[in-house]
Amino acid sequence: MTHLQLIEMLYRHKDEIHQAYMHTGTLGASDELIKSTLFIKVADEYQLNQTYITFVDSILDRVDYGVVFEDYEKENAKLILLRKKYLQHKKPYYKEQISKLIDDIYLRFFYRDNHIRLLLKKLEHDVSLEIEIIIEEANAILHDISELIDANDKIYKTFVEIQELDDDIKTKLTKLEIDFFRFSNNIENYISQLQRFIIQTKEKRRQNRLFMQVANDILNEKDIKLDDHLLADTSTRCYTIEYTKRKKVKSLPSFYDTALLKKALKSLELTKSKRASANSKLQETAPQKLLMVDIDVIVARLDENKPYDIYTFLKEQKDLFKQEDEIFKVYLHLLSYTNINYRNTFNMDGIRCVEWRG
């Protein structure tokens, strides 16, 4: 079977392959897929070849918590052996094998870096697992990543040794040096990121347990400690609680002036508005004079100048205002007039521009 024929076979059975990939297996499979070893029978079920799944996951940027970060002892040992044989025999075959092995190690570093990045992203956004399991997975990943630092150092030392063998090998390693350095540097960043994530997740677990404990105490009416905490600071407390059969807010604290408080509350009472009939007409209320300034003088000046921005214009009439806060109060008062026009712009004070039409 050629590569093109393989692609055609995958297309012919795309639905069958997709179903097996999405559901991790199927009870049946086409003979062509079984003969090609794309499907392998495991017990009573046919499963996709793991190599194919790994290929698809890498292309689709998918990664599972069960990903294994391999060590590089065998590759490092093979590099050392090939270097030794090349020095002894000077045969091009050994140089070609060294070059291929460098490419293989580079690709493994590349996919490993990508897998770790995706794993950390999955950990941070995974809402399907319990916090305990997430912490467990994070610790396992941290352990595996930490072991890679030693492997990186050994590979790097071997690269330094073999780059002196030949100019072609030295050129290749020089081109890949920046990437290998980036992969190694990323490992340290991933370790720091994982450590912070584990600490934050453990703190989140601790807070969740405290919240659950408080919630259970409230549901079971074991909230005396909470009440004691709320009543501890009398300077901010605005009520007292009397413990009876039915716990209720009984009265205001004694340090409040009750008469003064009642008077203040009465001043805030609103009269009940009358329901408008269908035939009733809205009547415009005449603007009231402000006691603080002579509003007639201000209106006269507005009629004369017809400013684009009333508030900015008022700020310029310093002879009419004793205090700066009076300007804004007059501005609000003038908004009740009908001869104004709201603009879609704002002045330097962040106040909407209102034009006086006169």
- pLDDT per residue over 180-222, tens digit each? 888 888 888 888 888 888 888 888 888 888 878 777 777 776 6
Whole-prediction pTM value? 0.50
pLDDT recorded at residue 278:
47
Distance of alpha carbon 162 from alpha carbon 165, whole angstroms: 5
Query: Which residues have CB under 8 Å from 289's CB, separation 6+?
Result: 295, 296
Residue-wise pLDDT for 234-293, tens only, equals 554 555 555 555 554 445 555 445 565 565 556 555 555 555 454 545 454 444 445 457
Tell me how far CA of residue 67 lies from CA of 57, 124, 127, 186, 340, in angstroms. 11, 17, 19, 18, 70
Indicate the burial class of 162 (C-beta count within 10 angstroms; 0-12, 13-18, 19 or more): buried
pLDDT recorded at residue 225:
63
What is the H or E stretch that residue 228 is in?
Answer: helix 224-230
What mean pLDDT comes out for the span 58-81? 78
The distance in angstroms from the start CA to the end CA of the chain is 90
pLDDT recorded at residue 129:
74
What mean pLDDT comes out for the span 73-78? 87
Q: Where are the beta strands (DSSP E) in the chain?
A: 39-42, 45-48, 240-242, 248-251, 340-346, 352-356
Q: What is the DSSP string of 286-309?
A: PPPPPSSS-HHHHHHHHHHH--S-
Residue-wise pLDDT for 1-14, tens only, equals 888 988 898 899 88
Amino acid 268 reads: L
Residue 353 has pLDDT above 50, yes or no: yes
Crossing angle for the helix pair 73-89 and 131-162, to the nearest 10 degrees: 10
Residue-wise pLDDT for 168-181, tens only, equals 888 888 888 888 88
Tell me how far CA of residue 8 lies from CA of 4, 5, 28, 47, 301, in angstroms. 6, 5, 20, 20, 86
